[in-house]
Structure 1
């Protein structure tokens, strides 16, 4: 049966989850998790929580699923040591630097790949398994077909998000909150700007084109189990304990009884929390405006439902452990009690029984006293007694014997093999950094590739790989080189298509840009250098070391880092940073233009869109302040949301002093002439300045 995984944002939610039937819970302690504003746990509380759960057969997963700076990594190492000592069953991670750290600090601690690693294909999931990740949490946007394809051939366990809030952007690829407010979703402080009103090619007038309904896959649990899904995850670490109890108990019943929810159960799920109802659109492969909804601020609490749920998890321990006892009481020997739960056992001894002066102890009396396990986690099923006649043992002595036996069994049930921990190896020296970075360009419109741009001789030009079938780059090869950019988001069925493109155009390519593990098997064996792109979310020196170990030739660092943080990175391979352009804020499975305005071409194949397709034209998302965020087309009829302002640093000296090998100009909405003017400005020519400039996060960074 698939594991039911419930959220534990605090102690009450933990109890609610366990008492309502969760097989496992996920929680955070410390500051390094994706729900930093949840209550989370202190170290002492976490230790108590692990014991509470393990005694009842429930697993505990620690969330360490944020991007960390170099300064935070020593604290993360200590957190990994504590998680290992405190017997966490696994740790959920996002940051590849944390993966590299964990292999040294706590090598026997199982690691799970967070959905923020953007693993959404079989190739990516298999590569994660090869790296020792024991479970892969898939992207929430996958359909039943996608999930089944991965489950069939992935050697790691597969976890699927079954219920709760959906983000509009692929997890791990969202920078909207970070760029507009300095609160990074990748660092656990997302302000949820996607829930605000926006207008598509119009002023924001109360519409919510980025606010998805909550997911609800309760009707499909048996199907997911049959696919081979190992774990079904319920979202809600920020929600109250009663919510956790309601959804956990319903999903527990459905799994145990192998059935779909009743109308009343669906009503209760919606009462507990929903945004204009629920959606199963991604799972069924039916995207569109029907997937979106909002939640008014003053929705009344379902008092009766929550009161019932609270009563169930507060009134007593419903997850008792069945035990059997054997007691031997003979003259001249200490009384001996053996307590068993399954294949686990503990044995304790008590005082030597005395000869009875008046009335001797009977077997029935001894059994009755040993069965009194009320108020504990244990439920006594059977007591077998071997008792010689004419002996006396006080009630206090029997009670103490029972308590000691149960305590010893509890220790046995909660014990795990001791794991190795170690101090991480000091980071090695990094190569000498170049004095000045070389300029590269990335393009998002074919018209931006011109003779004039090539004449500026950028070191490399990044092009979407699908352009190469229709765009001839050979006239420019004597002045620049080209890197094929694989789409950040694609599907398992696209792997062969993308590889064929690389093979066809290998002769005109100098490199391939990769953004996640799923890209590695696509480019494998083509003898083209692999350049780590922005989707890898490089935030620290250990992540760069990881990229080098993977065999990448360069690494793009996160644009959420301040310039001092970029400067101080140990550059184990040539590094690149974006120094100009609109920063990518969201990569969305649901086409915002098609949902709001309709679309003349709803093909999921980006290459088959007609030139007249509305989604390939000039489209913007407008917020309440009037800021206009361009919407660019992406592979698979997806959208990429760009920042409303253009990062501009040409007039600042710091970008040249970061130890970068490459500095990237990211062209999105610019005209061909603007692309040339911007590149020349960074080369020290002209006076080009974008009208809507911003310094981005270069100086202020993120929380």
Structure 2
């Protein structure tokens, strides 16, 4: 198994499959490995996906052709789901699945304890975006880390040079605007959680950017939509960086897409120089030595083929060489833009025909899209082929502007050729045969390759009386392995002269040997069932705890109000913590209040030094009580500190195994995911923390949305408030975190739990957190006082009722406390 898993000198090409057709397409197009999801427990719930029988069929198909199969269990699991997920994994383990792709840190611990022989990959949903993140996961015995898409090539090289774990990155397909695993937008606005594989893709919707009530003019409205990534021009550089696995995104794409994209990258990987003997750099990496490969089906270059299969207004190379850029965005439309094939040169109003001049040859069945004057897009399917540099007409009700571009979004010939290509089942396992035929003895047929060998005995070989069986005839019959995963390299015959054996008996021996050889190969990957797996599932731990109010503050005014209100614990953002606050720590301690510093939501290597110095040259020498940890890397940085540590909700804690993992690291307490409802929270280990008030960040965005629309002037603006307004006229505040060069998008409404204080106060949590943003001194004091009275003292005063009514008028959300996520 180990030898099968290890990478060769060139990187692994990892392709997606949402169904069996796509899987076979990927295998036959040259993928080294395939990743799929089950009907349940997968981060692409909208794909067709595979049930257990289909997974086994897919696995056998792959293993017999020397291809690895990874199964995604890369969502977060509630406590009442863990048992069933582990049973599902047990089945995958026994089948011989190569690796599991995981997001849930609690589940990852169960897998390592119960199924140590299966490879464990950290999903990109774990938001590994720095060297320290990777080191942390490497120490947890992950075999591979799928990095956040936002990392640069320089950062990836640094990670490869300083770790021994395998690294996987995305080379083609869709890019999310938010760091994967750190996005709550779809969850908070519609209950469809990206952490549960049900993202509704709110980043592909229309938004206006507003500042202080005024709209920032921009004709293209899809300001959160990124172009797909395409890296064919930099494949050599990615190989030279030492990336172990090249991942194609697209489990929801059709087989033709999977086949076409896989085939292009297979060619480029195979054509690139060996990473052991890289050529000298020529400009940007190794583009020059790569041969230009024209695709074998249809017309056009590789990038045009990729663009025809799917693109959102061309491609970008992602973040490999670009930190952020307007050029990476597809603001005009988030849909497939196709390939430019011509333009409108006239419109016949009488017949309502637009006249199009074609730049490319078009086939019958091609699908084109035409933009009308009112902004609508009209799709048409060609009834006849069209030659390049000729004109043709299409009926159109609405008028169009002369000069408007026309795009082909469906290439009939390409699609048909790709389908014929991937249905050929060309990927075969090479075998050799040896047949021994001696008079009056049984036929002996042996099939072997470099690792496996089987032999079968057949019918008795007779002395020929009049029509001996020739070696040519024997070879002919043995060669008939047609609809099998095998390809014969050589057939050797050792035979007496003048022998006879019935042809049907040769066929029978061949079929038996093929069946045994098939089982021989598959048996090397099957595993014995593991026992006592339920022992590794953590149960709820209950104990009495004194209820307390904690608060996250954004400025000194709120800090002082929190001290005055005697909150049990105050969290202060690391970049807001200043000398004035430090001077107030003693005052806070005199009132029994703890002061913690909240570390950044995202901590890239480029910002590590800034934060590291702040911690070790400043904070460690103060009397702060501890840190609010938001990334794996931050825990790694401060793990040796004697100060207390609290894990924030950003590490996505859904179940008791995840909680137990962190508590075993000496953590004070964890913050439960805001995606769980009260029933689900009640099943978790008591004494933890939940957020009961405040606007939650729903996206962490590497792009600067303001700069994309306003230019460099955005970097010099201070104190301005920006909002994204959606199609329902709902505003989401867009905060520019300039210390980290990061955009943070906040939910439109505050979470507010006091309308259901009776149920919330009965939960076994210890800490109720208030997250402040723009609240002034008096509002802060009032909010903290009301929450303490309602949740800690379980009061039912008129003041509480009035506050609830006031919040109803303002508008709030109960979050997921009484709905949860799918």
TM-score (ref. length: structure 1): 0.94
Q: 2:749 aligns with which of 634, 640, 645?
A: 645
Q: 2:690 aligns with which of 570, 574, 577?
A: 577
Q: CA deviation digits over 1:360-406, x for unaligned, max 9?
A: 22333322322232332222121111101232111111112222222
Say if 2:619 is the partner of 1:505: yes
C-alpha distance in 2, partners of 1:148/1:429?
Answer: 41
Question: Which runs of no fewer than 5 residues in structure 2 stay unpaired?
Answer: 1-9, 273-289, 294-299, 337-378, 380-407, 790-798
C-alpha distance in 2, partners of 1:155/1:128?
Answer: 11
Residue 650 (structure 1) shift: 2.6
Tell me: CA distance 1:361–1:430, structure 2 relative to 1, closer, same or farther (3 Å): closer
Q: CA deviation digits over 1:401-438, x for unaligned, max 9?
A: 22222222222222215245232216566554345521
Say if 2:383 is the partner of 1:312: no
Say if 2:776 is the partner of 1:661: no
1:524 — aligned with what?
639
Tell me: CA distance 1:700–1:512, structure 2 relative to 1, closer, same or farther (3 Å): same
SS at match of 1:374: coil
Q: 1:352 aligns with which of 460, 464, 470?
A: 460
Deviates more, 1:20-29 or 1:540-549: 540-549
Tell me: CA distance 1:351–1:636, structure 2 relative to 1, closer, same or farther (3 Å): same
SS at match of 1:351: strand
Q: How does 1:36-435 map to 2 (within 5 A)?
A: 36-201=45-210, 207-258=221-272, 259=290, 264-293=301-330, 294-296=333-335, 300-314=409-423, 316-415=424-523, 416=525, 418-419=527-528, 421-422=530-531, 423-425=533-535, 427=537, 431-435=541-545
Residue 471 (structure 1) shift: 5.1
C-alpha distance in 2, partners of 1:562/1:674?
Answer: 27
Q: CA deviation digits over 1:156-196, x for unaligned, max 9?
A: 11000111111111001111111110111101111111111
Tell me: CA distance 1:437–1:261, structure 2 relative to 1, closer, same or farther (3 Å): farther
C-alpha distance in 2, partners of 1:267/1:471?
Answer: 59
Deviates more, 1:547-556 or 1:249-258: 547-556
Give the root-mean-square deviation of aligned CA atoms: 2.0
SS at match of 1:472: helix
CA contact (8 A) 2:440 2:463 kept: no
Deviates more, 1:358-367 or 1:82-91: 358-367
Residue 286 (structure 1) shift: 3.9
C-alpha distance in 1, partners of 2:58/2:559?
Answer: 62
C-alpha distance in 1, partners of 2:565/2:291?
Answer: 63
C-alpha distance in 2, partners of 1:286/1:498?
Answer: 20
Deviates more, 1:680-689 or 1:153-162: 680-689
C-alpha distance in 2, partners of 1:465/1:327?
Answer: 75
SS at match of 1:424: helix
CA contact (8 A) 2:538 2:657 kept: no
Q: CA deviation digits over 1:573-622, x for unaligned, max 9?
A: x31110000122111111112212234464xxxxxxxxx634x5311111
C-alpha distance in 2, partners of 1:321/1:169?
Answer: 42
Residue 469 (structure 1) shift: 5.3
C-alpha distance in 2, partners of 1:550/1:411?
Answer: 45
SS at match of 1:508: coil
C-alpha distance in 1, partners of 2:40/2:630?
Answer: 26
C-alpha distance in 1, partners of 2:117/2:498?
Answer: 54
Say if 2:708 is the partner of 1:671: no
C-alpha distance in 2, partners of 1:421/1:271?
Answer: 47
Residue 482 (structure 1) shift: 1.8
SS at match of 1:449: helix
CA contact (8 A) 1:123 1:517 kept: yes
Residue 134 (structure 1) shift: 0.5
Residue 91 (structure 1) shift: 0.6
2:659 — aligned with what?
544
C-alpha distance in 1, partners of 2:335/2:111?
Answer: 42
Tell me: CA distance 1:112–1:150, structure 2 relative to 1, closer, same or farther (3 Å): same
C-alpha distance in 1, partners of 2:412/2:557?
Answer: 59
Residue 9 (structure 1) shift: 0.1
Q: 2:18 aligns with which of 9, 12, 18?
A: 9
Residue 72 (structure 1) shift: 1.0
C-alpha distance in 2, partners of 1:508/1:493?
Answer: 28
Residue 272 (structure 1) shift: 0.3
Residue 551 (structure 1) shift: 2.8
Residue 84 (structure 1) shift: 0.4
Q: How does 1:624-639 map to 2 (within 5 A)?
A: 624-634=727-737, 635-639=739-743
Q: CA deviation digits over 1:248-305, x for unaligned, max 9?
A: 1101111111137667100110110011111124111241221111244757322221
Question: Which runs of no fewer than 5 residues in structure 1 stay unpaired?
Answer: 603-611
Residue 31 (structure 1) shift: 1.2
TM-score (ref. length: structure 2): 0.81
Residue 205 (structure 1) shift: 7.4
C-alpha distance in 1, partners of 2:665/2:427?
Answer: 45
CA contact (8 A) 1:32 1:65 kept: yes
C-alpha distance in 2, partners of 1:429/1:373?
Answer: 54
C-alpha distance in 1, partners of 2:194/2:416?
Answer: 33
Deviates more, 1:680-689 or 1:224-233: 680-689
Say if 2:673 is the partner of 1:558: yes
Deviates more, 1:377-386 or 1:109-118: 377-386
